[in-house]
Amino acid sequence: MESKKFYITTAIPYMNAKLHLGQIYEFIVTDIVARFNRLLGRDTYFLTGSDEHGQKIEKSAKDKGVSSQDYVDTMVKDMKRLLEVYNISNDSYIRTTDKAHEKVVQNILIKLNENGDLYKSTYEGDYCVPCETFLTEGQLVDGKCPECGRDVEHVEEENYFFKLSEYGQKLIDHIEKNPDFIIPETRKNEVLGLLKQGLKDISVSRTAVEWGVPIPFDSKHYCYVWVDALINYISALGYSSEDSSLFEKYWPADQQHIGKDILKFHAVIWPAILMSLGVDLPKHVVVHGWLLMGKEKLSKSKGITLDPDEIAEKYGIDGVRYFLTRELSFGQDGSFTDPAFIKRYNADLSNDIGNLVSRTLAMIEKYRESVIPAKVKSPDFEKAWEDTKSVALELMGQFKISECLIKVWEFVNKANKHIEDSQPWTLAKSSEQKDIDKLDAVLYEVAESIRLSALILIPFMPTSCQKILDQLGIEKKTGDIRLEADGIWGSFDGNTKTGERKILFPRIEDK
């Protein structure tokens, strides 16, 4: 039987710079999945938070001449503000500088040590500060970090090592037994390739970096920032704490969403730590691609940035949420450009759905004094909706998010075509009963198409769908709707008054 609880997490961004639209993209996708699960009545727990320790942040704070704690406090405030701006419905927010989190990190380090999975040795190699990654000489490309292309630092220090090498075969077995542990398949194959080459033990402590969680059994050492950060997914639930009820209720995570650059940390290191602790692995690690600007990777240093405040101001939140999920093929890289945004927004939002709502409501106002006619049964219509609903939900379940929207849009445009074909403005001039009945039937069916489309689109565009339901005179707050339980999902009897008309998606003039 399908589990009723649903635990979903995002990666926790580094607090060394303001968030860019690529990181926001991950929040939007996870928010949509979380909202879908709530809408379907599942007990959903959606976690995000911030990664606040490590050398990169220590450096950024020093450059600004403030303490590391003051620095992250300011950055976290801004991240929380942006989550609100983008209407992200997380149930909880974890900071890796929370005392409770730090305590869990220490409990885990003690346990790994007691299990015999830690040992002390000397690390000599390179370190990429922006990626917070240890690199061996063979991994460098032209002497630089293979991931971000930046300069590396030479490091020689005593570290604690985690015996990652002992987990390679266990991880291969797990992935083979659970073929959808890593989604999509290309990423699973990438991880299997990596595992088959053999794993090396990894450093899990630093002595040169003090902005971190102290290793409880050795005061010279601080926990490596990645180990500290990965633990957030269970520390946020109270693992190994006095109150671990959330951990018992929600773990294992149903979906852990990450970008492709941090795959090894989540699909190799994190599960190996969990195995050592004897804790279940997450059900799915879901990997998305990069959001690019044109063909370029977002990069502050190269000035290729997409500022989420500027974009929100210019285009509105729901338009951006729609564009990013409709235009990007989930799992692959995709691009944001102003012309592509304007084209998609004007065609799909302003024209297809925006116009459908505004002309339908105008006709109901003009021809039926703002009362949606009573329900007229139409087996064809019901069949079309059943097909849309089941296919759209199935596509969402397979992370075919763009395809899910395409399916819903076919339904929206069926309603547009129904208006064109039946010409309500001509029917309204007739006094024959059959034309009056036909006009009622068309107006009911189109209003019902709008209502159903708005319900299924709530996760994507919560504010706009609320506006649509308000205009249809439906007194329900989108955040409270539980489709199956509320009976709102089924059909609507009509014979109700519409609400005040509002513009949904004003057309953007292409300059």
**Applying CB under 6 A, which residues contact ligand ME8?**
11-14, 22-23, 25-26, 51, 229-230, 232, 258-259, 261-262, 290-291, 298
Supply angle C-alpha 127, 133, 138, rounded to 5.
65
**Whole-number Å distance between alpha carbons of 317 and 323:** 10
**3-state secondary structure at position 141:** strand
User: Rounded to whole angstroms, how far apart are CA atoms 204 and 105?
Assistant: 12
- CB of residue 299 to ligand ME8, shortest distance in Å: 9
Q: How far is the CB of 411 from ligand ME8 (least distance, A)?
A: 30
Nearer to ligand ME8 by Cβ, of 328 and 441: the residue is 328
194 or 436, CB closer to ligand ME8? 194
Rounded to whole angstroms, the Cα distance separating 478 from 489 reads 12
Residue closer to ligand ME8, measured from CB, 12 or 364: 12
Q: What is the C-alpha to C-alpha distance for residues 398 and 402, in angstroms, rounded to an integer?
A: 11
Query: CA geometry: angle at 226 spanning 30 and 108, to 5°?
Result: 100
Least distance from C-beta 86 to ligand ME8, angstroms? Answer: 14
CB nearer ligand ME8, residue 191 or residue 258: 258
**Which residue from 165, 224, 168, 164 is spatially nearest to 191, judged by alpha carbons?**
168
Residue closer to ligand ME8 by CB (options 332, 398) is 332
Count Cα atoms within 13 angstroms, Cβ side, for 455: 27
**Sign of torsion over alpha carbons 127, 133, 134, 138:** negative
Minimum distance between the CB of residue 373 and ligand ME8, rounded to whole angstroms? 46
Name the residue nearer to ligand ME8 (CB basis): 236 or 469.
Answer: 236
Nearest residue relative to ligand ME8 (C-beta): 259
* Minimal distance, residue 257 CB to ligand ME8, in Å: 7
Give start and end residues of each alpha helix (H) in 178-286. 185-196, 225-230, 232-235, 245-250, 263-264, 270-277
Q: At closest approach, how far in Å is the CB of 32 from ligand ME8?
A: 15
Q: In angstroms, give the least distance from the CB of 98 to ligand ME8.
A: 14
49 versus 459: smaller Cβ distance to ligand ME8: 49
Classify 423 as helix, strand or coil: coil
